[in-house]
Structure 1
């Protein structure tokens, strides 16, 4: 197992190099001059040229890339063009609110999504199945920003039960986590149902029932473990999407997280922060995929890594 993890970590290097190249080129294609934005609208051309030289934007693109790679190798993501602070500090201050929001959203969405999926599979083609899949389709189809505004209107404006902005207490997490996790719960419900329906028709399940085992034992002891492999794969992907794709929800609720930081950085053409965030999101997906592969062995002991 350790050798497998080591090989996977080494295999991340080419992927990260490709990501670095793509991110660097993409950010420099964005319209707008960051030097002009830093200098302000009233700055003259001489001032703008000085700022451009100070930022290294006057160098040819290959030299800018080599300087960027050299800084990355030293763990330096640069400094924000807006705040002049290190990019690592900008990201670290926003990371925990986004992480806890993602964990909260993932926890309830997995719990309810898998519960609905299992019930729909056990009672398939009956009213629990139809009700569960109707809820799942509704969760996938309804836009996150619209759901967030409806929840704010009902629970914050009309009833005054929950706050709408900020991340100061556990109450602040309720509405954003519901908004962020609704689509994930719907996907998990449909995916769990499909996996369970396939496994529950296998011969070993019929054998377990023929031995006189209770339906609860058949579902949770025999069917669940075998059906979890594809579900865990989807769970890992959804967690990565939540962690890196909470931009809309963080904007709606003015959440002090990474998604809001990315939006502000794109609007201000803050190249170093954009590059740092995209690289971090890419690293998260790679590590999550590695964790999912390791979990396969924990769920199904028959899986061995060489």
Structure 2
């Protein structure tokens, strides 16, 4: 276990360095000029050039990247061009909101998705199965901003059950979590249904039923632990996706997460923030998959980490 985790952490470092290089190249090729963005439209050429020299933007590409990589290896994500604040400080200030939204969204998609998938699998071919699968298809296909606006209109404007937007209380969390969870629930329900149907066909399940074991016990003790294994891998990916924030949902609900920070930075060509959010998101995805891989053997002892 220790050796496996050590190997994965080394792989994580190499992946992050690779992502930092690719992202840096793409941002370097962007035609927008950060120095001009900072100086403003009315600034003189001399002022713009002075800012470019202060930020090191006049250096060759390899020098800029090595300079950034050196700071990154020392735990320095850089300093925002426009906000004049350390990127790590800005990300840390948005982190609680992103973690809260991530937890709420994963809870909603698992609650609705797994329930729908299990019910559909146990009623395969029935009207219930068809209705739930149609609902999951709608959830997967519907744009998130449309779902968000509909939830806001119904539950915030018309019924007044929840606030229209903002952050700070449990009531503020419900609608954004449902919006994100609605999409995830569609994927989870379809995967859970397929996985559970396949498991229910296995010989050991039929043997357990033939031995007179109660259906609920067979389902909970034998079928579900095996059917849920693909779901765990998806949760690991979702941890990274939700951790980075969903820009559309955060914009609709005014949620102050990392995704909103990244969108503001993109509009202003604030490269250090874009780089910092990209690396934090990549790290979250890798660590989420690592956690999923470590949990899987606890559910199915036949699986060994190598």
Task: Specify if TM > 0.5.
Answer: yes
Residues 1:21 and 2:21 are matched in the alignment: yes
Moved more, 100-109 or 26-35: 26-35
2:135 is aligned with 1:135: yes
Gap regions ≥5 residues in structure 1: none
Residues 245 and 258 in structure 2, CA contact (< 8 A), matched pair in contact too: no
Which residue in 1 is equivalent to 2:239? 239
Once the two structures are superposed, residues 180-199 of structure 1 have per-residue CA deviations (whole angstroms, 9 ceiling, x without a partner) of 11110110000000100111
RMSD of Structure 2 on Structure 1 (CA): 1.1
**Contact kept in structure 2, 1:78 and 1:272, CA below 8 Å:** yes
1:120–1:128 Cα contact (<8 Å) kept: yes
Counterpart in the other structure of 2:276: 276
Q: Distance in 2 between matches of 1:260 and 1:67?
A: 27
Aligned counterpart, 1:106: 106
1:139–1:183 contact (8 Å) kept in structure 2 = yes
What is the TM-score normalised by the length of structure 2?
A: 0.97
Provide the C-alpha distance between the structure 2 equivalents of 1:231 and 1:161, rounded to a whole number of angstroms: 32
Q: CA deviation at 1:245?
A: 4.7
Q: Where in structure 2 are the equivalents of 1:194-273 lying within 5 Å?
A: 194-273=194-273
Partner of 1:120: 120
Q: Counterparts of 1:177 and 1:256 in 2: how far apart (Å)?
A: 14
Distance across 2 between alignment mates of 1:242 and 1:184: 11
Structure 1 CA distance for aligned equivalents of residues 272 and 16 of structure 2: 17
Structure 2 counterpart SS, 1:164: coil
TM-score using structure 1 length: 0.97
Match of 1:48 in 2: 48
1:188/1:235 contact within 8 Å kept? no
Deviations along 1:159-211, one digit per CA (max 9) or x if unpaired, are 22211221111100111111111110110000000100111100000001001
2:144 match: 144
Deviation, 1:239, is 2.8
1:242 offset after TM fit, Å?
A: 2.4
Give the superposition deviation at 1:45: 0.8
| Matched-pair contact (CA < 8 Å) for 2:109–2:181 | yes
CA deviation vs aligned residue, 1:87-116 (integer Å, no higher than 9, x gap): 000101111101101101101210111111
Look up the match of 1:157. 157
In structure 1, distance between residues paired with 2:255 and 2:245: 13
1:74-89 alignment runs, 5 A limit: 74-89=74-89
| CA–CA separation in structure 2 for the residues paired with 1:239 and 1:201 | 31
Cα distance in 1, alignment partners of residues 11 and 22 from structure 2: 18
Distance 2:301 2:138 in 1: 37
Answer whether contact 2:236 2:290 (CA < 8 A) is retained.
no
Partner SS, residue 82 of structure 1: coil
Indicate if the aligned counterparts of 1:192 and 1:231 stay in contact, CA closer than 8 A: yes
Distance in structure 2 (CA, Å) of the matches to 1:57 and 1:123? 62
How many residues end up aligned between the 2 structures? 306
Secondary structure at 1:59's aligned position in 2? coil
Deviation at 1:31, TM superposition (A): 2.8
Give me the whole-angstrom Cα distance separating, in 2, the residues matched to 1:243 and 1:12: 17
Corresponding position: 1:305 with 2:305: yes
